[in-house]
Amino acid sequence: MSIKKTLDNTIFFLYTTLLFLFTFSIAIRNLLIGLLFIFSVIRILVYREFNLKNNEFNFYVLLFLTFTFLSFFVARDINLSLDRFVSPILRYLFFFYISFIIVNDREKIAKNLNIFIYGNLTFAVLGILIKLLNGGNHISGNGTGTVAAFNILIFSALLFNNENNNYKKIFYLIGIGSFTYILFQTNSRGAVLGFFASLFVFIGFMVYYNIKSAKIKYFITILLIILVMITPYLLPDKLINKFDNLKNISANNSLKTRVVMWESSIYMIKNNPILGVGVGNFQPNYLDYIDNVSDENLTAGSRKHDHPHNMFLFIAAEQGIPSLLLFLIMIFISLKISLYNIYRYPKFSFENLIGITSLSVFIVFIVHSMVDSTARYGHVGFYILFILIVNYIIFEEMSKTSEN
């Protein structure tokens, strides 16, 4: 076997292993993405082959990176900027482009998607077993709640794909049940709100667009009304209590802190609208706001935050309004491509279902990003990017077919 073939096989092995294990831990993600980066660089240097995939995102990604680097010049602490650039920005950038190289056709989409979803399912089942058997909790946190919402949507969509046999559908049902349990036990308000918001989109296309029968639509509508009525009684008490805290924000330290962080972000944006305060430099400017501008008396724990619990304010505060606009443009392109795949491919086809899933996943992401800096969580970021890429390649294949 040639050295080139060995490198290609190693890169593919590392990539598929990352797809399978990325939800398990930060250490595993960082180790695998680091090794993948090293072997990819070696391959480029040895064989001088570097094919940057042409796609609709490249121009906006390049501009976003330009503003990232420009923000270094206004940063108080350049080390914080370098840290943020390496992780997560560089990490996501590399994963984005290596995915376009590896997952580049319909057959590879199917294989890699299977690895992706079964890895997520393994994480869910093992996490639940550990929790039930010895009380360990590896399935907690806001990011895990978001990933759980993503998985409920993709497993539900694939359940309706006629290409899948009954054995696969059993696994999908297990996935739906497992991730539903995980979503609600994380007690993440943002993830739950994002999930319910996405359900309107998901059900709207799955039922009211894909299904023709008026009787089935009527029956499902009745079921949905009943479900909406009983849902508050099914939610865990701890989650209900967290929503009750919204009635008196000033009495809850966590919520009060978030309001101060949002106010500090707006203050940073007003004073630094073009380049922000510097990528990675939210925390020192947040502390400056608390000490010199805000009248709120916050606890020591409330001073440790390095992000404002709002993805959109986070980007604008650290990199300026132009970076936020570029981020929103890339989200808009992703939504547009999802709609394209929904309408252009046959109803309930694999491609149509991926379009619906992608659209719904982005709704979860957008809603949760209003109350948390969701892309900071590696498992959320990798999940979003992988679904985006799968959806884009499906869109690209239809575009090529139309041209021919």
Structure tokens, 76:
């108080």
Tens of pLDDT, residues 268-309 = 999 999 999 999 999 999 999 998 888 887 788 788 889 999
Asked if the model's pLDDT at residue 73 lies above 90, the reply is yes
Tens of pLDDT, residues 105-153 = 888 999 999 999 999 999 999 999 999 888 777 888 899 999 999 999 9
Asked if the model's pLDDT at residue 187 lies above 90, the reply is no
Domain containing residue 13: 1-50
Non-local CB neighbours of 240 within 8 Å, separated by 6+ positions? 232
Work out the pLDDT band at 49, boundaries 50, 70, 90: confident
Q: What's residue 106's pLDDT?
A: 85
Asked if the model's pLDDT at residue 400 lies above 80, the reply is no
Average pLDDT over residues 187-203: 94
Tens of pLDDT, residues 361-392 = 999 999 999 999 988 899 999 999 999 999 99
Residue 38 falls inside a structural domain:
yes
Whole-structure pTM over 0.85, yes or no?
A: yes
Q: What's residue 47's pLDDT?
A: 81
User: Angle at which helices 3-21 and 91-102 pack, to 10 degrees?
Assistant: 120
Tens of pLDDT, residues 306-344 = 999 999 999 999 999 999 999 999 999 999 999 999 999
Work out the pLDDT band at 233, boundaries 50, 70, 90: confident
The count of structural domains within the chain is 1
Residue 276 falls inside a structural domain:
no
Residue 45 falls inside a structural domain:
yes
Q: What's residue 1's pLDDT?
A: 62
Q: Whole-number mean pLDDT of the chain?
A: 92
Q: What's residue 35's pLDDT?
A: 97
Structure tokens, 231:
């849902």
Residue 95 falls inside a structural domain:
no
Tens of pLDDT, residues 80-95 = 999 999 989 999 999 9
Q: What's residue 403's pLDDT?
A: 57
Residue 20 falls inside a structural domain:
yes
